[in-house]
Amino acid sequence: MSIRILPPTLQQRIAAGEVIERPASVVKELMENALDAGANSLRVDIQEGGRRLIRVTDDGVGLSALEASLAFARFATSKIVSESDLTAVRTFGFRGEALPSIASVARVRLLTRAREAALGTEVRVEGGTLVSAQDAGAALGTTVEVWDLFYNTPVRRQFLRSLRTEYGHIMGVFTRLALAFPEKTFSLFFDGREVYAFPSASLADRITACFGREATAGLEEFEDAGTAGRVWGFALTSEEVWRRRYYFFVNRRPVRNRVLYRAVRESLQGEGGMVFLFLDVHPSQVDVNMHPAKAEVRFRDDVAMYDLARGALLRRSRPAWMQAEQAGKVAESGSEYGADAQSGFSLVGQVENTFLLTLAEGHLYLLDQHAAEERVLYERLQHQRVASHTLIAPQVVNLSVDERAFFEAHVDEFEACGFVIDPFGAQVVALRALPDFIEPRVSSLAFARLLARMRSGKEDVYQALACLGAVKAGQVLTPEAQARLLGAWTQTTNPHACAHNRPVYFRLSLDDVRRKVGRTGLSTEFDQYAGCSHAL
């Protein structure tokens, strides 16, 4: 087998494979270019999961007519001048392959105008070949449109995942860069519908906008600085956060790094939660070129970075403004369910992670925890407007023709229960918000099951949703959660039956218990010290 040099077009496509894995890779490269250009506002438009169109518009410095054409040449960049710049990267990247690689596997239109120019420039490139370059009217800044991604590499196009998967990857890229630059304005549109609109904000407000106020109510702040650099950010440790989510930003670049991951894990002692860790170091102390897409970084001094991050996290604390806000909410609302301390029930504990054992007025009550909360949610759905929490990433759900028709006929019922659902295509809907008692991690599954149970005709929407949202048998509840559930159940108008009219509790008289164990009278003071003695 002889060795030969590949044709330039094939070289370009191989280079594209290093950087452009899927539509989200294109979004990442274009957004990073916009940020490097000093943009304060970015808008991202996506059609058909990025297969049809990816458009990124910014208000950065823009390009001159000469620079606009040169931008599509291999290894052409404004981000590196000398060899020393390779070891101290101060921007998101300098790879000359980015725009040329994108253009080699798509149809690209670049529209740009520099601040000093009266007219803008439009450049069109298809499959790596320059089609046209001409003057054009344009706003200040740059717009890059990427049409028909992988149109000339059908095998790679076939390996793209479902629309839901590709949209999910795009939202991941978008939200990470939005978190990295909270002072900038970002907006994201899918098929003409606005998914995110982030105004300029503080980091805490941007985190809340991405993840919801309920998910971030327990944020703790941390900050430290030393000779190695400066670390700062927020951490959230909570049993309600269903899995770990660690977001690392080195000099504002979203990255992965084993050293930082280990520091976070050990400082949080393996607890679940979220961490948003920002590390500012001198560019010469971090290598961003170990990964083709710069997703991973390597430090010159791992030990120093580990000590800096871990020390800051161990000293984290709740911000003063958040403590005051949380205290005000607790004072106003009392508790999650509005438990009545005067209900007369005394909580003993949880039995087999399924029942609550309580005592009231000479009786033992064994409550089915699922049935009890089902009753609570059922009455709440019937008589109150249910609060919603917005999903960080709208969930796309595919429906059959019959399911879509049923949903459209009952859309008002879903909205009354706290759902915010948008049409997303012929047989697709996007879940944007859920009732506050449904966990985001099961959003798509809960909606699908709710739809199926409603279509069966055996339950109304309140019965089905209350059952889906209620705590399950076998689920461990903290003492606080047990107390909240007991208090909420005692406030219901019909505490005897669940939403499906099944009994909630079993009651046993303490007199019956005494008779069963042979204690037929009241114990005396002596009996309390007599061990096995019985009062007769």
Using alpha carbons, list the distances in angstroms from residue 436 to 215, 319, 439: 11, 25, 8
CATH number of the domain to which 426 belongs: 3.30.1540.20
Domain boundary (166, 200, 234) is at 200
Q: Are strands 41-47 and 185-190 parallel, antiparallel or unpaired?
A: parallel
pLDDT for 343: 62
Q: Same structural domain for residues 196 and 243?
A: no
Residues 83-126 pLDDT 10s = 555 554 566 754 445 788 899 999 999 999 998 899 999 999 99
DSSP-based three-state secondary structure for 457: coil
Q: Same structural domain for residues 41 and 163?
A: yes
Q: Same structural domain for residues 64 and 87?
A: yes
pLDDT confidence of 242, banded at 50, 70, 90? very low
Residue with the bigger pLDDT between 205 and 339: it is: 205
What is the reported pTM? Answer: 0.62
Domain containing residue 473: 346-509
Q: What is the domain count for the chain?
A: 3
Q: Same structural domain for residues 354 and 266?
A: no
Which residue intervals of 238-319 are DSSP H helices? 258-267, 302-314
Does a structural domain hold residue 532?
Answer: no
**Interatomic CA distance for residues 123 and 49, integer angstroms:** 24
Does a structural domain hold residue 526?
Answer: no
Q: Same structural domain for residues 288 and 216?
A: yes
Q: Same structural domain for residues 239 and 187?
A: no
Q: Are 113 and 56 in contact (CB under 8 A)?
A: no
Does a structural domain hold residue 536?
Answer: no
Does a structural domain hold residue 362?
Answer: yes
Q: Are 171 and 195 in contact (CB under 8 A)?
A: yes
Residue 2 has pLDDT above 70, yes or no: no
The length of the chain in residues reads: 536
CA atoms within 13 A on the CB side of 90: 8
Residue with the bigger pLDDT between 161 and 143: it is: 143
Domain boundary (200, 221, 251) is at 200
CATH number of the domain to which 78 belongs: 3.30.565.10
Residues 170-200 pLDDT 10s = 999 999 999 999 999 999 999 998 888 999 9
Residue 82 has pLDDT above 90, yes or no: no
pLDDT for 119: 93
Residues 370-424 pLDDT 10s = 999 999 999 999 887 788 888 877 888 888 888 888 888 888 899 889 899 888 7
